[in-house]
Amino acid sequence: MDALTKSLRLVVNDSSKSVAASGGTQNPEAYDAYLRGHYLIQSTNASRISEGLDELRRAIEIDPSFGLPYADIADALSQSIFYGLVDDRELFGEARNAARSAVALAKESPEAHVAAATMHQYVTFDWRAAEASYETALSLQPQSPAPYHRYADFLWTTLRLERAKEVAQMALAADPLDGSAMHAVGITQLIAGEFARAADAFGEWNRFHPDSRWSYVKYSLALALNGQCDAALERADKVLELLGRAPSLLAESWLAWGYHVCDRTDRYAASRKRFESLIESNPASLEPGLAYYFLLEGDNERLFALVRRLIDAESPLTMFLPIFTLGGMGWSDDNLAQRQAVLNELLRELNFPPGDFT
C-alpha cells in the first residue's frame, strides 16, 4: 500500500500528459476516493469490498478520465465473481466495461491489463487473450506484486507450472511480505507435487499473516502431504479454534483432504457426513468443495456430473478443471486413467492451453 501510494503521488504531481498516459488524475478528491477504494477491496469481507467499490465509482464520477479506479473495479468484481460473493449478471457487465475503460484510459498501467486478463480468465473464458494481457502487464514492469501473483494463479490452474514458479517468485520479489505473493509461491509448489517446499512457503505465509484462516488450512494440507501429520492436525485444529464454527465447505474439503492423507478416519467421516448432507438437500449444487470431496472419494461419476454443471453454468470455477486431472495429490487415484481421459477431452473442447503434463 505504501509503495502504491508513493507511486501514485508521483503521478499526481507529474505533467498532464504523463498523468493521462498512466491513467492517473490531478484531482485530489478523486485520488483520495481511489485510495480508500483500493484499500477496502483488498479485504475478503463482502461488505468492505462493496464499500470499496462505492469509493471507486465515486472517484470515476469526480474524474471520468481517471483510469486506475476502472482497473480496480474490474479486478474486485472478477474476484468477487470467482469467489461466489456476487452472482449478478449486471455486475458481470460492469466488470467487462470497467476492464475495457481501464485499458483505454490507463494503457501504461499493469493493473489495467491485469483487469482485462481476469475478465478473460473468469468471465469470457478466452485463455489466449488472458495470457496475452498478463504478459503485457508484466512487460510494463509492475512495482506491485498483484500482477505477478494474479498471473501465477492463471498459470498454475492451467498447469504451466515452471512458468508459474518463476512468476510467483517475481511476486515475492516485488513485496516479500505480501500474503498473496507468499500464497502464490506455496500453491504453485503444492500443485507441482513439491510438498516440502509448499509447506515451507505456506509456513511463512502463516507466520507473517496469522489472521488469515486460509494460511492455516493450506499449511495444514501441505504438512499432511509432506508426511507431517501431527503438525498438520495442529494447524487444522487452529483453524476451527479461530472460526469458532464450522468452516466453509471449500475449507472443509481441504481439511478433509488432510484428514484423508493422514488416515484420520474419524475426522474424515465427519466431513463426509457434511458433504453428503449438502448433496441430499441440493443435488444440483455448484459448491466447489464438492469437487475435492469427490476426488477424495474416487467418485468419478459424481465428479464428472459436477464438472458438466460448472461448464453449463459458465462458472468461474471451470478454471480449476486441469487440477482435477492430477494424480499423486493424496486423493484417490482409483480409475485415474478414466478421470484424466474424460476431463482432458472436456479441456480440449474448452480450448485450454496445454499444461506441463500434456
Residues with Cβ within 8 Å of 234's Cβ and at least 6 positions away in sequence, in order, are: none
1-138: what CATH class? mainly alpha
Of the candidates 189, 218, 191, the one whose C-alpha atom is nearest the C-alpha of residue 203 is 218
Angle at 290 between CA 155 and CA 84, to 5 degrees: 65
DSSP 213-282: HHHHHHHHHHHHHTT-HHHHHHHHHHHHHHHSSPPPHHHHHHHHHHHHHTT-HHHHHHHHHHHHHHHHH-
The per-residue pLDDT for range 119-135, each reduced to its tens digit, is 898 888 899 999 999 99
**How far, CA to CA in Å, does 69 sit from each of 63, 152, 348?**
10, 23, 36
Q: Is the pLDDT of residue 109 over 80?
A: yes
Task: Determine how many CB atoms are found less than 10 A away from the CB of residue 108.
Answer: 14
Work out the pLDDT band at 81, boundaries 50, 70, 90: confident
Work out the pLDDT band at 21, boundaries 50, 70, 90: very low
Q: Is the pLDDT of residue 99 over 60?
A: yes
| Average pLDDT of the residues of the chain | 89
The per-residue pLDDT for range 39-72, each reduced to its tens digit, is 998 776 778 889 999 999 999 999 999 999 999 9
Alpha helices in 83-212 (DSSP H): 89-105, 110-119, 127-139, 146-157, 161-174, 179-191, 195-208
pTM over 0.85: yes
Could you tell me the sign of the dihedral formed by the alpha carbons of 209, 121, 124, 132, in that order? Answer: positive
What is the structure's pLDDT at 13? 39
Q: Is the pLDDT of residue 8 over 80?
A: no
User: What gap in Å lies between CA 76 and CA 50, rounded to an integer?
Assistant: 9
Work out the pLDDT band at 88, boundaries 50, 70, 90: low
Of the candidates 92, 102, 164, the one whose C-alpha atom is nearest the C-alpha of residue 316 is 92
For the chain, the distance separating the N- and C-terminal CA atoms, rounded to the nearest angstrom, is 39
Work out the pLDDT band at 3, boundaries 50, 70, 90: very low
